[in-house]
Chain A
Amino acid sequence: MIELEDVSFSYPAAGPVLENINLIVNKGEYLGVMGDNGSGKTTLARLMTGLLLPEKGTIRVNGISTGDRGRLLEIRSSTGMVFQNPDAQAIGETVEEDLVFGLENLGVPVPEIDTRIEQYLNLMGIRELRHRNIRTLSGGQKQLVNLVAVMVMEPECIILDEPSSMVDAGTRRIILEHIARLNHEGTAIVHITHDPEELTRCQRLIVLSRQGITKQGTTHEVFNQLLDEEKMDIPVSFAISRALGLSPVLTTEALLEELCRLKSGT
């Protein structure tokens, strides 16, 4: 889906940020990305969507180089990105305008535009925000609208840069369930976050640092390594199951099930 080959990037004011990065996001996979502040996660996301161009190396989205500016629209319609700063993403004045804008650009027929908008606003439970001015929304409401703005385009790959950093636990669960469902239906997901509890449904995890990709593997493998180093947070259930010497699990449900099984001695 997305291939980075020997990619290096630096901002004029900041010096090198990413150096010789090699990474493949496969079609339909769910990749988690963690890493310290300033390690280059947002930069990586911008490179993957062609918002920034690599200084060295190439990035291909469905085989198209992001440097091929004539085909930028193809890239933009196959990969959508939810921005880390919710104020940086919106283009329209009202929620509806913002959603219409993206769909018109994609060439979606007018009658379908309306049904899609209604469908996705309903899905995330924010239908009543349709005619609101985006700038007057609460932080979490903006994040939801931004997510809908990408989902409504139905891209093949969605890049999420901390999509649920400002929502409550219930809303976060709903967001994560919808992301997992989209992935199940074939959408590739790249999910950047500082919260390991959000990554329990990933198939693969990478950890970025100023030195590059310092860890990668299955979610279990990477959390195991992180736990051994006590450097980063890992999901609570994973930490408890490992401390008890059980085979590690990622969710509260799985942990409770295992503990009940042990208690009843079966």
Chain B
Amino acid sequence: MSIEIRHLTHIYDVGTLGETKALDKIDLTIKKGNVFGLVGGIGSGKSTLASLIAGLEKPTGGRITIDGEPPCPGKNVGILFQQPEDFFFEKTLFRDMASGLLHSGLTEDEVDERIHSTLDLIGLGRQILDQSPFHLNRGTLRLAAFASVLAMRPGVLILDEPTASLDPKSRKRMLEVIEHISGDITIIYISHRLQEVVAVSEHLAVLDGGKVTFKGTVPGYLDWAAGQDGGEYLPVLSQVMYRLYGLGFDVDPDVTCLDDAVEQIRQSLEKT
């Protein structure tokens, strides 16, 4: 599904002392089956945009359409909240996952099948289904929340900081799953971990104070970010490579794999 965002503005608590303009005339087009990265400082409006695209709130100005229709939570769009705790209310994970699926009209057998195949995909054991979401450690809770949204097979999937609290193994798995499901599902990937955003996204946008300050491809972003804030918003490896390039080392600043980077630095040192 493709997403059109036009002149989108969102103001919280309009007319009060605490009035906050979270989004300011945003225009974005997100293509079908794409992974679209969304980055920006704290409080820049990412989660607000996520909740508007998910149809959980109505924007105070402008509009969003998903394949020409307005967003409809649980129908054309699913969201993994930044706080996985916000996801759960039932006594067991199974009941949480099943309630949404039963509601969408699946039979009990289909629900079982759907839940099991989703857990397998994410690499979660089935014993987790009997556990209370409130007794899970935070990383596992986030994976469980991911399983719950994914099981609904949404056309648009919004992931808000999906790898926070995940250990390296689970993080890698999460990125593999995203790679695997993209193409069928349009994914919006919100994260402060630039290394990951750059690795999974095709296009990305940067928000700053509710405005879009960059939109484009990943190489375009790397070039742009290299010239901002001393390169602080580049992935760490890119920071090293851009700085070396600037210092006269014969390296390609856009290299993204550690082994390639090491090889280039080695060769560059040998030449001198």
Contact indicator A84/B83 (Cβ below 8 Å): no
User: Assuming the A-B contacts A168-B42, A236-B240, are A85 and B138 also in contact, with contact meaning beta carbons closer than 8 angstroms in the complex?
Assistant: yes
Contact indicator A141/B265 (Cβ below 8 Å): no
Chain A interface size, as a band, is: 35 or more
Give which listed residue, A11, A88, A232, contacts B135 with CB less than 8 A: A11
The CA-CA distance from A165 to B247 in the complex, in Å, is 32
User: Assuming the A-B contacts A37-B139, A133-B18, are A140 and B43 also in contact, with contact meaning beta carbons closer than 8 angstroms in the complex?
Assistant: yes
Contact indicator B249/A259 (Cβ below 8 Å): yes
Contact indicator B47/A170 (Cβ below 8 Å): no
Which B residues lie within 8 Å of A140 (CB)? 41-43, 192
Q: Report the minimum CB–CB distance from A255 to chain B (whole Å).
A: 6
Give which listed residue, B138, B194, B237, B266, contacts A244 with CB less than 8 A: B266
- Residue of A139, A231, A240 ringed by the most chain B CB atoms within 10 A: A139
Is A36 at the interface (CB under 8 A from chain B)? yes
Contact indicator A42/B261 (Cβ below 8 Å): no
Is B40 at the interface (CB under 8 A from chain A)? yes
User: Assuming the A-B contacts A166-B192, A256-B240, are A36 and B167 also in contact, with contact meaning beta carbons closer than 8 angstroms in the complex?
Assistant: yes
User: Which A residues from 149 to 181 make CB contacts under 8 A with B?
Assistant: 162, 165-173
User: Which B residues from 233 to 266 make CB contacts under 8 A with A?
Assistant: 233, 236-237, 239-240, 243-244, 247-249, 258-259, 261-262, 265-266
Contact indicator B47/A138 (Cβ below 8 Å): yes
Contact indicator B165/A173 (Cβ below 8 Å): no
Is B217 at the interface (CB under 8 A from chain A)? no
The CA-CA distance from A166 to B165 in the complex, in Å, is 9
User: Which A residues from 224 to 252 make CB contacts under 8 A with B?
Assistant: 231-233, 235-237, 239-240, 243-244, 252
Give which listed residue, A231, A232, A252, contacts B240 with CB less than 8 A: A252
Contact indicator A263/B240 (Cβ below 8 Å): no
Contact indicator A141/B165 (Cβ below 8 Å): no
- Residue of B18, B161, B164, B272 ringed by the most chain A CB atoms within 10 A: B164
Contact indicator A38/B140 (Cβ below 8 Å): yes
The CA-CA distance from A143 to B268 in the complex, in Å, is 42
User: Which A residues from 121 to 135 make CB contacts under 8 A with B?
Assistant: 131-133
- Residue of B18, B131, B194 ringed by the most chain A CB atoms within 10 A: B18
Besides A38-B137, A141-B43, 20 other CB < 8 A contacts?
A13-B135, A35-B167, A37-B137, A37-B143, A37-B170, A87-B83, A131-B17, A132-B18, A165-B164, A166-B42, A166-B164, A168-B42, A168-B192, A194-B139, A194-B167, A237-B236, A237-B240, A243-B258, A244-B266, A244-B269
Give the 3 A-B residue pairs with the shortest CB-CB distance, closest first: A140-B42, A37-B139, A165-B164
Q: Can you show 9 pairs from A to B with CB atoms below 8 A apart? A: A37-B167, A86-B83, A88-B85, A140-B41, A166-B192, A168-B233, A169-B194, A173-B232, A244-B269
Residue positions of A touching B, CB distance < 8 A:
11, 13-14, 35-38, 42, 84-88, 131-133, 136-141, 143-144, 162, 165-173, 194, 197, 231-233, 235-237, 239-240, 243-244, 252, 255-256, 259-260, 262-263, 265
